[in-house]
Amino acid sequence: MGTLSALLSGLSALLLAEAVSAVAAGSSKFLPYAVGAGLAKYCATVVLSRILLRVGNLERNRSRERLFPLLSEGLRSRGQVGDLLTSADQSGLVATVQSSYASLRLAPLSLLVVFLAGGWLSAGIAATLIAVSIPLYIRAGQNAEKFGDEYETALADLELRELQVLEAGQELRGLGAGSFACDEVAALSEREHSSAMKALRAALHSSLITEFLSGVGIGLVAMVAGFALLGMRTTLLRGLIAVLFTNELFASVQRFGSEFHQSQESEQALKTFSTKRESLKSEVSLPRAIGLVASKGKTPVDLNLRTGSRLLITGPSGSGKSSLLEALLGLRNPLEGTVESGSSAIAYVTPRERLYSGTLRENLDPSGQHGDLTLSEALASVGLPAGRFGSLDARLGPNGEGLSSGELVRFLLARGIVAQASLFVLDDISGLLDPASRKTVEKYFNSNPHLCVVEAAIDSPLLSATSTIKVTP
Amino acid sequence: MNIRQRLFKWLRLGRPPLSLVLFAILRSVISNVAAVGLFIAATALLVVSSQNVTLQSIAVFLIVIELVAFIRSPLRFLDRLSAHQLGFAAVQQWRRVVTSWITSWDSSQATKLGHGEILDRALRDTEELQNLWLRTILPGLNALLLLAFSSVILYFIPGGTGPSVLLYLAIVGAGAFVVALATRSLGVAEATVREARGNLRAVATEASRVAASLRLLKSKKVVEDRLAGAVAWLHVVERRREREARIQRLALLLASFGALIVTASHFTPYSLWQTVSVLIGFSAFDLLRQWDAALAGAIALDAAMSRLEELEPVGSEVSGPFPSDAGMYVHDYLVQGIPTTFAIPLGSKVAITGPSGSGKSTLLRAIAGMGVSPSGYITIGGVPISSINNAALREFVTYVPTESNYITGYLGDIVELGRDITRDYVADLKSLGLKWKPDFNLVNPSRGERARLAVVRAMATSPAIIILDEPTSGLGESDTKALLSLLDNCDATVIFATHDPLVVSWCDTAIRL
């Protein structure tokens, strides 16, 4: 595609040269040449870029279809989700980038034309200037990349803060601290922009070099051709061709240069989406941990869960109970030790978990396999009266909001029951339950002794444990 | 609101310094004229050379061309830098405005959009607004100036006549007009694409929060389907937008060829000027492309701007002062269907209890003046809370939701939050077992730490009324006791939503919903 585009621009240059020399000769034949030149330029820019766009779109669509497996790999911050989506978009640029490679490969051909039309001096000037521009260009590109990383960090900081402002919007308002948040966002935005300016400056430096050299190149070749014309050593047509192809030559280098940074990004993006993650077939049904250390300075823990175990993890606030649970579930990388993930379904119940917008049914049965009876039974067994929600088709708010924290944890329990989870991991939920629902939940687990339950609690656990792990801060 | 009005509105909202604007425009015009001039002059030089004119005139030509060639790229460099600078200055201003909107929402507005969606708007849409300068106003202005510049040259070159210049202007103008018309329908398509993009981002953000636990649960079909649906919708609307761009490409093609034919048939006895004339006709293509790009930019921005406008807080600001008597009444509030009026005297400690879902949080938000009460009304010092100015209200009433956020960073910053602090919060934290100094950097505090920090932060300005939604749910018994004894030490009215029996027994009054 790039080859075709380069050939078409070459053709356009040739026809333009013909047209101009016809005008100069006072001939009226220039019009078809000029129109031809215009047509070729149109094809080279508009039509081909559209085709490239289409090819790119196919690639981008393929990447987007692989979003879910990537999203479910672990706890992802929203900034990372944004990056993933941007990567998906970027993977569509691969076609454009490849075409600029192809047009660069045709550069020697342009040089040959310059040589044939303008003689060795013109070709020499063009070749020397390109040879000079390449190392300069590469260095400038490296600088731009360095600043690019700095920019990414600044952007991530800004995203994180803005997200915190969003999540805490009501709290900030409740504390009368809105203007503080505005100042913080503005300051982080300024930092993002100043590093963006640095990266831009570096990137523009690199294009400055090629543009400057191309300007000089065209000027010099025109000069050589001009003197040759004066000395009657060449024809106007040949001179024009030499000048216009010098322009083409530099244009292809420039195009490649401007796509170069994108090329790395888009290739990286493509890699993100094309690597197949191998899902290890698990030998055990429940997760197992040996010598697990989830946060700094803790003693290694062995966790060997069995059907019917009731494990209590206890310790004061901030002692690392949640981290231990997350490591056990493979949601964070342990500092030490190994974790073997189990093959059976696990219900992870934490007040930090969110539901997604949509109906209660979709949230309660994300596999979409179970009937209403099963769902209502599951809700009833954790003491969520059917009347509270009206029907299972009641819709939750945009962030899955609409349930109080106490209801949320019980809803998550019910979701686990529906999915026939054989392990329930409860992260400090007892404080969120009112006495009546606490009893109901206790009753459910007591009447299902085969379930394995891991509970983290500060001092008033929900269940009577068969074994206990104490975590100290 | 049409595109033009909207453009002006946002230009006003994010007004960069005038000097920056003038500088950017000047640089952009100069660099564009230089770029076109170089191409025309270099070609003209060759034509002149073939006409056997004197060596002297050729030398002058050469020097001029080389000069233009030398300065062209630095000019472009400066042009782009100042355009970006201008854009960034505006973006920063816009982000400040949008953040101030977000932090003055009512509770009902806060739950209207997903966080992923708002984040997308607050950051990416504002970032895109820098194109208002970069890709719309500056290139549009350039295209117009280039058109004027070309027309003037066409008119003054030997043989140039008024009618032929008018014809050139008419053709290019008609092309520009058709492009502008077609841009409208493209605008609709573009808006849909943005909507679909935002939707995908929102769905993906939501999915990312639930994906890990659904993977553990081994049941993910609904979310997977939803993600696939969002992707499919985006694909469809992206394809539609591409189709819409066809008319524009056709208008572009026809108008640039028309311009070329007019300028080419602009016969003059001097072949040099004839050449210049043809080349000007040839550059109409680039001119129209620039115009097209500027309009496309405006369209993309219109969608971004209207999406941002949805974030504007609804309702108008009231100006009533905070009354001197901070005694509070809740009138005719429906408790289990019965209208009930109760007083919350100054300095009292009140627990609001009731089963999950009975509306404790809703009542608390209404009492805090952050949401509409579902029934009855609330007064402070005899004045309805809805008539008190928000800034004044926030000075005297603080509110903390169940899950406290905005707690990473230096302790000093996140407790003070730019407010006038009247309590020793380090001592308060210490009494709750958190021995932190103001320069302590909080990275990932646990739930219990968050809960305690949130209460200390709400007390730090010594407000008259402190409203806390389940502040002890992440705390053990001893931490809860410490928290209550800290609250004992302040004379503020404290209103809790809770079902912790320890808290309820500590309070003066308990209201059961």
Question: Secondary structure of chain A in the HEC alphabet?
Answer: CHHHHHHHHHHHHHHHHHHHHHHHCCCCCHHHHHHHHHHHHHHHHHHHHHHHHHHHHHHHHHHHHCHHHHHCCCCCCHHHHHHHHHHHHHHHHHHHHHHHHHHHHCHHHHHHHHHHHHHHHHHHHHHHHHHHHHHHHHHHHHHHHHHHHHHHHHHHHHHHHHHHHHHCHHHHHHCCCHHHHHHHHHHHHHHHHHHHHHHHHHHHHHHHHHHHHHHHHHHHHHHHHHHHHHCCCCCHHHHHHHHHHHHHHHHHHHHHHHHHHHHHHHHHHHHHHHCCCCCCCCCCCCCEEEEEECCCCCCCEEEECCCCCEEEEECCCCCCHHHHHHHHCCCCCCCEEEEECCCCCEEEECCCCCCCCEEHHHHHCCCCCCCHHHHHHHHHHCCCCHHHHCCCCCEECCCCCCCCHHHHHHHHHHHHHHCCCCEEEEECCHHHCCHHHHHHHHHHHHCCCCCEEEEEECCCCCCCCCEEEECCC
> In the predicted model, what is the mean pLDDT of chain B?
83
Phi first, then psi, for residue B25 (nearest 5°) are -65, -45
The yes-or-no verdict on residue B486 having pLDDT over 60 is yes
Of the candidates B261, B42, B37, B265, which has an alpha carbon nearest to the alpha carbon of residue B152? B37
Instruction: State whether B221 and A437 contact (CB < 8 Å).
Output: no
DSSP class of residue B461? T
Instruction: State whether A366 and B231 contact (CB < 8 Å).
Output: no
Q: For the segment B259-281, what is each residue's pLDDT rounded down to a tens digit?
A: 888 887 766 666 677 777 877 88
What percent of chain A has a predicted confidence (pLDDT) above 90? Answer: 4
How do the domains of chain B map onto residue ranges?
3-309, 328-512
User: B38 CA to chain A: closest CA distance, Å?
Assistant: 8
What pLDDT, on the 0 to 100 scale, is given for residue A399?
67
Q: Which CATH number is A288-470 given?
A: 3.40.50.300
Question: Distance between CA atoms of A2 and A55, rounded to whole angstroms?
Answer: 13
Q: For the segment B341-350, what is each residue's pLDDT rounded down to a tens digit?
A: 888 888 889 9
What pLDDT, on the 0 to 100 scale, is given for residue A231?
77
Range of lowest pLDDT (A48-57, A273-282, A291-300, B476-485): A273-282
User: A465 CA to chain B: closest CA distance, Å?
Assistant: 18
Mean pLDDT of all residues in A317-336 = 83
| Interface mutation target, options B36, B65, B213, B241, chain A, most CBs of A under 10 Å | B213
> In the predicted model, what is the mean pLDDT of chain A?
80
The yes-or-no verdict on residue A389 having pLDDT over 60 is yes
What pLDDT, on the 0 to 100 scale, is given for residue A454?
92
Per mean pLDDT, which of A4-18, B394-408, B477-491 is the most reliable?
B477-491
Range of lowest pLDDT (A161-165, B87-91, B181-185, B489-493): B181-185
The yes-or-no verdict on residue A279 having pLDDT over 60 is no
The yes-or-no verdict on residue A259 having pLDDT over 70 is no
User: B199 CA to chain A: closest CA distance, Å?
Assistant: 11
CA-atom Rg of chain A in angstroms: 33
With b for 16 or more beta-carbon neighbours within 10 A and e for fewer, the B469-501 pattern comes to bbbbbbbbeebbebbbebbeeeebbbbbbbbbe
Mean pLDDT of all residues in A392-401 = 77
What pLDDT, on the 0 to 100 scale, is given for residue A328?
86
**Residue A73 burial (C-beta neighbours within 10 Å; 0-12, 13-18, 19+):** middle
Confidence of residue B55 (pLDDT cuts 50, 70, 90): low
Q: Quick check: B403 contacting A, CB < 8 Å?
A: yes
* Max intra-chain CA distance, chain A: 106
Q: Directed axis angle between helix A236-274 and helix A48-65, to 10°?
A: 10
More confident residue, B376 or A5: B376
Phi first, then psi, for residue B399 (nearest 5°) are -135, 135
Q: For the segment B415-462, what is each residue's pLDDT rounded down to a tens digit?
A: 988 888 998 999 999 999 889 998 998 887 888 888 899 999 999 998
DSSP string, B437-460: -TT-EESS--HHHHHHHHHHHHHT
The yes-or-no verdict on residue B337 having pLDDT over 50 is yes
Question: Distance between CA atoms of B241 and B196, rounded to whole angstroms?
Answer: 12
Confidence of residue A415 (pLDDT cuts 50, 70, 90): very high
Pick from A215, A366, A388: CB nearest B214: A366
How do the domains of chain A map onto residue ranges?
2-274, 288-470
- Class of domain B328-512 as given by CATH: alpha beta
Q: For the segment A77-126, what is each residue's pLDDT rounded down to a tens digit?
A: 555 677 777 777 777 777 777 777 777 777 888 888 888 887 888 888 88
Mark which residues 452-481 of B lie under 8 Å from A by CB.
454, 457-458, 461, 467, 470, 472-479
Asked if residues A288 and A307 have their Cβ atoms less than 8 Å apart, the reply is no
Which residue bears the tokens 């030509």?
B61
State which amino acid sits at residue B114: G
What pLDDT, on the 0 to 100 scale, is given for residue B269?
61
With b for 16 or more beta-carbon neighbours within 10 A and e for fewer, the B144-171 pattern comes to ebbbebbbebbeebeebeeebbebbbeb
What pLDDT, on the 0 to 100 scale, is given for residue A274?
67
Instruction: State whether A64 and B234 contact (CB < 8 Å).
Output: yes
Question: Distance between CA atoms of A206 and A134, rounded to whole angstroms?
Answer: 10
| Interface mutation target, options A42, A399, A415, A438, chain B, most CBs of B under 10 Å | A399
Q: Could you count the other beta carbons within 10 Å of the beta carbon of residue B5?
A: 9
* CATH for the A2-274 domain, from 1.10.10.60, 1.20.1560.10, 1.20.140.10, 3.30.1360.200: 1.20.1560.10
Pick from B210, B231, B357: CB nearest A356: B210
Which residues on B lie below 8 Å from A81 (Cβ)?
116, 201, 204-205, 208
Q: What is the dihedral of CA A61, A63, A69, A75, to 10 degrees?
A: -110
Q: For the segment A184-242, what is each residue's pLDDT rounded down to a tens digit?
A: 888 888 888 888 888 888 777 777 777 778 778 887 888 888 788 777 777 778 888 88
Give the architecture (CATH level 2) of B3-309. Up-down Bundle (1.20)
What percent of chain B has a predicted confidence (pLDDT) above 70? Answer: 93
Mean pLDDT of all residues in B176-186 = 81
